[in-house]
């Protein structure tokens, strides 16, 4: 009787052992390729920026080298820019974003700022910062881009600090590109 119970059990165990011994080793499934981070592309139009056109281009490059979740590019022909840049005789100012694709804000490169001795690239980078959702952080040191004119006329730093970069990354890092402009208030960067 013991033989009738053990024989089939031994045969089953032998078959299982043989199957395991001759089976190909298990391998891990290939990992999914890394997800490409979504980068929001915003177009700017500096065609009405007059003498500030190159300052605006330089400021856009500063932002492109400082953050990864959003990229500023000149508007291609036939498309509508999210950021319009206009030169005028007032003080520099901008509408507060963060602007999203399909939305639109305006930056005014007021000549009063450069006439007072402030650096045009710093002004442009500061005003583009408003378009990306950064408020003024005044008063502040030259190391803070959003301190604006309170950094002093000798300040030529166009680079956002770590806090300002993180704020912009948070504004655009979620990939919520269909959201409307969050505020739209006009920020006049007075002394």
| Residue numbers annotated as active site | 127
CB contact at 8 A, 146 and 164: yes
Strands 105-110 and 83-88, how do they pair?
A: parallel
Instruction: Find, among 98, 84, 113, the residue nearest to 164 by Cα.
Output: 98
Strands 105-110 and 93-95, how do they pair?
A: antiparallel
Cis peptide before 139 (omega within 30 of 0): yes
Q: Where are the beta strands (DSSP E) in 6-165?
A: 40-48, 70-74, 83-88, 93-95, 105-110
Contacts of 107 (CB under 8 A, 6+ apart): 56, 83, 84, 85, 86, 92, 93, 94, 95, 124, 127, 128, 130, 131
Q: Is the dihedral of CA 20, 24, 30, 31 positive or negative?
A: positive
Length of the chain: 191
DSSP 8-state secondary structure symbol assigned to residue 112? H
């Amino acid at each position: 009787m013991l033989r009738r119970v053990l024989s089939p059990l031994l045969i089953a165990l032998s078959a299982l052992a043989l199957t395991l011994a001759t089976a190909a080793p298990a391998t891990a499934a290939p990992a999914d390729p890394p997800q490409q981070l979504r980068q929001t592309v915003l177009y700017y139009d500096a065609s009405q920026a007059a003498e500030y056109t190159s300052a605006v281009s330089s400021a856009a490059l500063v932002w492109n080298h400082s953050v990864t979740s959003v990229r500023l590019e000149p508007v291609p022909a036939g498309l509508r820019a999210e950021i319009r840049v206009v030169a005028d005789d007032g003080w520099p100012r901008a509408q507060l974003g963060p602007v999203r694709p399909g939305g639109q804000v305006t930056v005014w490169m007021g000549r009063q700022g450069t006439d007072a001795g402030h650096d045009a690239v710093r002004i442009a980078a500061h005003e583009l910062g408003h378009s990306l959702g950064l408020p003024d952080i005044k008063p502040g040191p030259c190391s803070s881009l959003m301190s604006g004119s309170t950094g002093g006329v000798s300040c030529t730093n166009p680079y956002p600090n770590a806090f300002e970069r993180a704020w912009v990354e948070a504004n655009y890092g979620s990939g919520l590109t269909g959201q409307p402009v969050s505020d739209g208030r006009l920020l006049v960067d007075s002394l």
